[in-house]
Chains A and B, each alone.
Chain A
Amino acid sequence: MEQRLQELKQEALEKVQHAADLKELNDVRVAYLGKKGPITEVLKGMGKLSAEERPKMGALANEVRDNITGAIEEKQEGLEKEAVEKQLAEESIDVTLPGRPVPAGHAHPLTTVIEEIEDLFISMGYTVEEGPEVEKDYYNFEALNLPKGHPARDMQDSFYITEDVLLRTHTSPVQARTMERHAGKGPVKIICPGKVYRRDNDDATHSHQFMQIEGLVVDENIRMSDLKGTLNVFAKKMFGEDREIRLRPSFFPFTEPSVEMDISCKICGGKGCSVCKGTGWIEILGAGMVHPNVLRMAGFDPEKYSGFAFGMGPERIAMLKYGIDDIRHFYTNDDRFLKQFARKEIR
């Protein structure tokens, strides 16, 4: 009997070894370990054995059974793994094929510049104010210390709709309107972005329509040093911490004193190159202390209140920042231009 068991074990293990797939393996299991299998058959003859041999033979039978079961399990695991591997191999793909494009839009570069400036000033406590693009001569000029016949009106030839209505030539009328709304009470702390229009022939550096952003702060004790400090923060955030600013005296009818701000040229580091026309400096914006006539006309007492204002052109800033050579690109919406600004610049 012992010999028979050993033979069965040998036989079963061999068959397990040769099972080609899970089905064959299952057949082996049923054939040897099933209730009608040969091991059960052999054990039926146990009754004929002596009381001493019986437990010995029982243990042997269990051992044979365990061996076979173990072998089957081991084989099964191997076969399963093999099957999975086969499936995975069949499922493999070329990962270098292009992915499915997701429709991806993006902002116009001028919007990007304007929002960046808005956000910077919002973080310093400014609100964003807007106003009409078709404006009264009063708000566009007169309230800004530019009465009719003022020589400085020549500086910005305008598109008039009627004698008293025109396309605004700057966003300053928003300042005038906002101050008027504040009815003589500070603080006013605003930034005004928007479209403006001037009688210029469109060419590489001129556009009859362009954007402007102006800022205005009016309160008690606003100093020129505050203007300088504010512009310095702006220049460094917008153009880089390594940039220097310088102010030069200038003239605008609505400010006195008036200044123009230059930033040091990034291309040459101030040594002078073609971008900065050899000066090492690039003109960025105009600014100044709000003219007392402007304060007075908007209902502020210039003896009590003072303020500063500044204005800049997002096109110019974008042109400088990104090296754009022609202002008309901003308005033709050429995909080859616009798509270059699809990426978000993180600084």
Chain B
Amino acid sequence: MFVSYKWLEEYIDLTDVTPEELAEKITRSGIEVEGVEVPAEGIKNVVIGHVVSCEKHPEADKLNICQVDVGEDETVQIICGAPNVGQGQKVAVAKVGAVLPGNFKIKKAKLRGEASHGMICSLQELGVEAKLVEKKYAEGIFNFPQNAEVGADALEALMLDDAILELGLTPNRADAMSMIGVAYETGAILDRPVKLPDLSYDTVLEKAEDVIKVSVEATEENPIYLAKVVKDVKVGESPQWMKNRLVAAGIRPHNNVVDITNYILIEYGQPLHAFDLDQIKTGEIVVRLAKQGEKIKTLDEAERTLSDNHLVITNGEEPMAIAGVMGGYDSEVTDQTVNVVIESAYFAPSSVRQTSKEIGLRSEASSRFEKGVDPKRAALAAERAAQLMSLYADGKVLSGTSAAEHMDIKEKVISISLEKINRVTGTDLSEADVLDIFRRLQIEADSQDGLITVSAPTRRGDLEIEEDLIEEVARLYGYDNIPMTLPVHETNPGGLSPRQQKRRLIRQTMEGAGLVQAVTYSLTNQQKVTEFALEVKTPVELMMPMSEERSQLRQSIIPQLLESVSYNSARQKDSSAFYETGSVFLSEGGELPNEEEHLAGALTGLWQLHPWQGEKKPVDFYVAKGILDALWEKLGVAEDIRYEAAQMDHMHPGRTAAVIYKGQQIGLVGQVHPVKAKELDLKETYVFEIKLEAIYQEESVPLKYNVIPRYPSISRDIALVTDRTVAAGTLEAIIKQAGGTLLKQVQLFDLYQGDKMEEGKKSLAFSLTYMDPERTLTDEEVVKAHNKVLEAVKQETGAELRS
């Protein structure tokens, strides 16, 4: 809502309050003023001139030589290129020395040999937005009315020296979508009275209801319908002041009849519609729901198809307007119109909202109706329209109103105790303080024994419950004046849940291991949605995505991380190590999909680089695996994790492992398949993705100290020759199993599968540590255990001691 400071002054005394001060006060007490704009800022020395003569420039077809009276001793000669300039016009003249928007300075000039001492201006040249310039002057200069005073300040005459406050209205403050509404708000803030327009005018004897009958079939959607009739109107230009105010409000002037309806829209917040009476051949107005598939050509010349829940204004036969949204083309007021019907109605907000949404049409009218206008304004606005038509369109107003009213307009009575006001806000106001605030708001309020009873005026539809009154009191008392306290209640300890603590532990471990946390989008495209997914489900899709690229919810984080890796490598960052924790979305057919939290990582390029010492270690499978192993240690689940070679889509068939926790696969780690990597513009890249739920569910084992052993341990190394296909993990498991309780640690320290090895064989060397915490082991005991180990590996894998 654009609020003209000068227009507002008509309803309220703004002495001693600058526009900026007013903006600040309004912002602080309820409605955010998003900006204060002075249209004339940066413009000076523009006056009203009278074109005394206007002749074609002898040397240029499109230029005119004008002698212009600018209220000085002599006329000035101005060369003007506007197609519509003509003798006798009153125009805006930027004199020599004037400044126009964009710091455009007007100087003496010579155009094709003729001197020019200034410029005749269009409204656009004076900074008025093109869409607000009335069509008549859109392609040329502006003409003032003939009674404009020559030499007077043109900016003042155009009201460009105004200040426009832009209000950012929240949906509850529909009351401030009108000048009068803003005046009430301002009155409350400044504690000054509001002056409402005088509504007196003359009527003729003929009665409106004899000329047009009004009936409403859909009384729920349309509780109030009023029609005024004005005859013999002269369609023409509106008075300059009205045009100025409309432009300030962001509305383009058309003609006096249309302008008057728009003026009242802004003044009262009441949308009006004017019909050409002579186009309503039936002599009646019937408001009803549209028939399914019924068609209407609207003002914008578009044909629209209606549904049976859309409210229409008809002539008893055909629709003439979509109620509260837009008028029809056929009954529109034109330059030829003589007799006018003015509609002032109250349409149910939900009905207008639904219609406007379904038809895809939003207008100044619909945006007000759908938020709820003051039902009392319909009658006032109808009177105001009749008055302005008689004053500024020379119309004869018929007496009375043709009306269909099905609404009992009542003020809502709300009671609240003073104690509650103070309890909820934390203030210590008296009854008098509270009553004074309602007096300023011009809201009727009484108090008895601490109970305050308020009659909420119909213009404030947002006041419905006690809390709404608390807000009124608090905002006018001033949020600044509310004290600062902290909640007083039993102290409850705050903290993170085990799941949240584990998440932070994962984060710290990943970062400690050298990974950078990434955050990517949950929405992805159809192709990526199931790529690398540990479990593939039917994708969860948006009904109306904004693009195919962001249309489905991810089932794996890896594709998004790879995108980040590729983004960076395209920017000369060849090494990346990212991790992310976040949700993936797996539909199980229920109303909501399962949201599983996953940890994912992606690594590429060099893991270690220490060039001057000649060290350059690229990322490999074991780097990725080692990072996960560090995590299992931190989480205390290392004992329950194992890895198994696995085959997965888009993963290297020989370099991928399934991560198994307590017998269930919870993740994968491995190299992205080189074909896939190439497709994504990636070099050798390793990834992992882990489902965290099972680990989150597991209760953390309490930490307990074990006595440091007092007896020495004994180490024995063995090198085993086996088939290459035997996994180190298998051997290790057999060794552990066979070693019994004395075997405390098994560590692989060498792998050899070079030339000196028989074809298809490899050698794995393990260091085994034996110990008994209770005593020193004898050599025989160790030999016995060790032999058992050797026997077991030989039996189960055919492994031999390397000779």
Contact = CB atoms under 8 A, between A and B. Distances in A.
Interface residues of B, number: 96
B467 A289 contact: yes
B487 A256 contact: no
A52 to B, nearest CB: 67
Interface string A106-139: 1110110001001001111111101011111000
Interface in B533-580: 540-546, 550, 553, 564, 567-568, 571, 573, 576-579
A102 B487 CA distance: 47
Contacts of B496: 118, 122, 127-128
Contacts of A256: 465, 467-468, 470-471
Contacts of B515: 105
Nearest to A303: B420
Interface stretch (B607-615, B675-683, B756-764, B774-782): B607-615
Given A125-B491, A128-B496, A223 B522 contact: no
B520 A331 contact: yes
A67 interface: no
B521 interface: yes
Given A187-B492, A221-B488, A160 B544 contact: yes
Contacts of A103: 513-514, 577, 607-608
Interface stretch (A12-20, A41-49, A333-341): A333-341
Nearest to B546: A199
Given A134-B553, A289-B424, A160 B571 contact: no
Contacts of B576: 335
A334 B568 contact: yes
A224 B471 CA distance: 10
Nearest to B488: A221
Contacts of A160: 542-544
A292 B465 CA distance: 9
Given A103-B608, A250-B170, A134 B595 contact: yes
B205 interface: no
Given A103-B607, A248-B479, A333 B520 contact: yes
B368 to A, nearest CB: 11
A106 B517 contact: yes
Contacts of B353: 149, 151
Interface stretch (B246-254, B503-511, B723-731): B503-511
A274 interface: no
B451 to A, nearest CB: 15
Given A257-B467, A292-B467, A107 B591 contact: no
Contact of B514 (A98, A105, A201): A105
B519 A335 contact: no
A230 interface: yes
- Chain A CB within 10 A, most for which of B519, B564, B595: B519
A247 interface: yes
A225 B427 contact: yes
Contacts of B350: 149
A84 B65 CA distance: 105
Interface in A325-346: 330-336, 338-339, 342
Contact of B487 (A106, A128, A230, A247): A230
* A interface majority secondary structure: mixed
A157 to B, nearest CB: 10
Given A233-B486, A251-B170, A333-B568, A105 B423 contact: no
A323 interface: no
A323 B674 CA distance: 40
Interface stretch (B24-32, B706-714, B733-741, B765-773): B24-32
B170 A226 contact: no
B543 A128 contact: no
Contacts of B495: 122, 127
Given A127-B494, A333-B567, A246 B507 contact: no
Nearest to A302: B467
A178 interface: no
A264 interface: no
B510 A105 contact: yes
Interface string B366-408: 0000110000000000000000000000000000000000000
A112 to B, nearest CB: 9
Interface in A126-176: 126-128, 130, 132-136, 149, 151-152, 154-155, 159-162, 164-165, 167
Interface in B1-39: 27-32
A151 B513 contact: no
Contacts of A98: 610, 612
A208 B522 CA distance: 10
A97 interface: yes
A266 B382 CA distance: 52
B354 interface: yes
Interface string A240-272: 000000111111000011111000000000000
A222 interface: yes
Contacts of B567: 332-334
Contact of A134 (B504, B507, B592): B592
A245 to B, nearest CB: 9
Contact of A209 (B27, B523, B564): B523
Given A224-B474, A226-B487, A151 B511 contact: no
A58 interface: no
B365 to A, nearest CB: 15
Contact of B486 (A110, A229, A246): A229
Contacts of A336: 571, 573
A306 B507 contact: no
A209 B543 CA distance: 17
Contact of A162 (B28, B493, B497, B543): B543
A189 interface: yes
A301 interface: no
Given A107-B507, A123-B494, A151 B370 contact: yes
A229 B485 contact: yes
A237 interface: no
Contacts of A260: 32
Given A111-B517, A125-B491, A127-B494, A161 B486 contact: no
A140 B736 CA distance: 54
B517 A108 contact: yes
- Chain B CB within 10 A, most for which of A223, A230, A232, A331: A223
A262 B474 CA distance: 17
A217 interface: yes
Nearest to A332: B567
B500 A128 contact: yes
Contacts of B468: 256
Contact of B467 (A110, A149, A291): A291
B471 A223 contact: no
Given A187-B489, A209-B522, A334 B578 contact: no
B173 interface: yes
A199 B551 CA distance: 12
Contacts of A185: none
19 contacts: A103-B514, A104-B511, A118-B496, A125-B491, A133-B585, A151-B370, A167-B522, A195-B522, A221-B489, A229-B485, A230-B487, A246-B479, A246-B480, A248-B479, A251-B172, A257-B471, A331-B519, A333-B519, A339-B516
Given A151-B371, A251-B172, A335-B568, 19 more contacts: A104-B514, A125-B492, A128-B500, A132-B592, A133-B522, A195-B582, A208-B546, A219-B489, A223-B485, A225-B425, A226-B485, A226-B486, A248-B479, A249-B479, A256-B465, A257-B467, A289-B467, A334-B567, A338-B517
Ranked nearest first, the 8 interchain pairs of A and B with the lowest CB-CB distance are A103-B514, A225-B426, A251-B170, A223-B426, A257-B471, A105-B511, A333-B564, A229-B484
Interface of B: 27-32, 170-173, 349-350, 353-354, 370-371, 423-427, 465-468, 470-471, 474-475, 479-480, 482-497, 500, 504, 507, 510-523, 540-546, 550, 553, 564, 567-568, 571, 573, 576-579, 582-583, 585, 591-593, 595, 607-610, 612-613, 615
